[in-house]
Structure 1
Amino acid sequence: MEINEQANSEVVYGRNAVTELIKGAEAVDTLYVSGDPNDKALGYIVSIAKEKGAVIKQAPASKLQKLCGSERHQGVAVFATLCEYCELDDIFNTAAEKGEAPFIIIADGIEDPHNLGAIIRTAECVGAHGLIIPKRHGGSVTSAVHRTSAGAISHLNVMRAVNLASVIREIKERGVFCYCADADGKNCYGCNLTGASALVIGSEGYGVSRLVRDLCDVVVSLPMKGEINSLNASVAAGVLMYEIRRQRDIKER
């Protein structure tokens, strides 16, 4: 069979990523499937895709491999618009609808799709209300990001900021306290991280940009007790996000 790429979309493959994308989508155009029709996991994906109006097409494994550029497609692939970027108000509205103080993650200059995808996955897991990325000098939501996020991107507000500094000024005006993650900051375990908050994470190569750092209210760090004095950006982000989550949960008890 012939598989034609669709305009303005990218291919997503892998069972977890495809499942979460379909569950979070308003509609799905075409789902490509290869494998045993009696496979229950595959059958579930097909059933939820049909509920979203998808056309189901059988394709040999070789075609899926060519389409995905990988053997790790797990017998399923879908073309989709990966992310409908939101506005800042959407993030604040999500927090208000949940009756929670805003919890925002800002990725400053993180271009590696695996780091960005991992940050998105953790942000969704900790209950963050949105992620803000710069339109320039930063990654966008690609199929690799979607796959690394394990589909979490389908459940998280993502905003692309033309001017990250301006957005930070605005969220501060709206009562959000901004924390910048950097190795020379205050030990995060001694900081009060409750309340409306935004956590800024920089790239591994350059960290948070000087202008953005200067706009933040506090610079925080993680204690390093080993011989290596730094963490992968997504790992550091994950630890800090869960410390914010921990402190919030204690305050709410």
Structure 2
Amino acid sequence: MRIALFEPEIAGNVGAVLRLGACLGAAVDLIEPMGFIWNDRRVRRAAMDYIDHVTIARHAGFDAFRATTGSRRLVLFTTKANHSAYDFEYRPDDVLLFGKESAGVPASVADLCDARVRIPLRSEVRSLNLATAASLALGEALRQTATLPQ
């Protein structure tokens, strides 16, 4: 299973997702451009030494990223979806896609995804932090597919 971040804007969020990937055994795809310089110390501060234990792939844009996914399903996590992330049936080779913090993904990217799901939230709030959403999503996907680390 992989986590893909579309044009992430906040270095600390990327670092936290890299740490998540290291701890739970998920590779992380970073779809550029990013809102910070890759060697930003905030990435390493959030990821700590876990950054050495996660497979990271950087892609020049969405088309370059999509060319690497093959037959894997691209599951978009978005507040605009109607299907709950907890009712969705994941597969071990799914790619869990998250949009940029400020704007999600454009419609042209959403249209190329195989599925769109949302994490149910209380109606009076907009969204979760990117790293928190990725944690909930990856945890549920791994639980369903029985691929959690031991």
TM-score normalised by structure 2 residue count:
0.87
* Identical residues among aligned pairs (%): 26
After TM superposition, the structure 1 stretch with the greater mean CA deviation from structure 2, 150-159 or 161-170, is 161-170
2:47 corresponding residue in structure 1: 149
Q: Is the 8 A contact 1:108 1:209 kept in 2?
A: no
SS at match of 2:48: coil
Specify whether residues 141 and 201 from structure 1 end up closer, same or farther in structure 2 by C-alpha distance, changes over 3 A only: farther
| AA in 1 matched with 2:46 | T
Match of 1:14 in 2: none
RMSD: 2.0
> How far does residue 142 in structure 1 lie from its aligned partner after superposition?
2.4
Letter of the structure 1 residue corresponding to residue 20 of structure 2: T
Matching residue within 193, 199, 202 for 2:96: 199
Larger Rg computed on CA atoms: 1
User: Per-residue displacement from partner, 1:107-161 (whole Å, max 9, x unpaired)?
Assistant: 1111211111111111222210x21112324442422101101222111111111
Higher helix share: 1
Please give the alpha-carbon distance, in whole angstroms, between the structure 2 residues aligned to 1:201 and 1:222.
Answer: 12
* Partner Cα separation in structure 2 for residue 243 and residue 138 of structure 1: 28
Note the 1:155-194 alignment, pairs <5 A: 155-171=53-69, 174-185=70-81, 186-194=83-91
Aligned residue type for 1:147: R
Question: Could you give the per-residue CA deviations for residues 14-45 of structure 1, whole angstroms, max 9, x where no partner exists?
Answer: xxxxxxxxxxxxxxxxxxxxxxxxxxxxxxxx
Query: Alignment partner for residue 13 of structure 2, among 98, 109, 115?
Result: 115
Alignment partner, residue 34 of structure 1: none
Q: Deviations over 1:201-234 (max 9, x none)?
A: 1122111233322211001110113632311111
2:72 counterpart letter in structure 1:
V
SS at match of 2:80: strand
Structure 1 runs (4+) greater than 3 angstroms displaced: none
Q: 1:170: Cα distance to partner?
A: 3.6
Structure 1 residues not aligned, in runs of 5+: 1-102
Q: Which amino acid aligns with 2:76?
A: C
- Aligned ranges 1:60-71 → 2 under 5 Å: none
Larger RCO, structure (CA 8 Å, separation 6 or more) = 2
Uncovered stretches (5+) of structure 2, i.e. residues with no partner: none
Count of aligned positions: 146
- Which amino acid counterpart does residue 236 of structure 1 have in structure 2? A
Separation (CA, whole Å) in 1 of partners of 2:84 and 2:4: 20
In structure 2, the residue matched to 1:29 is none
2:2 to 104, 111, 119: 104
**Equivalent position SS for 1:190:** coil
Residue 28 (structure 1) aligns with:
none
TM-score by length of 1: 0.53
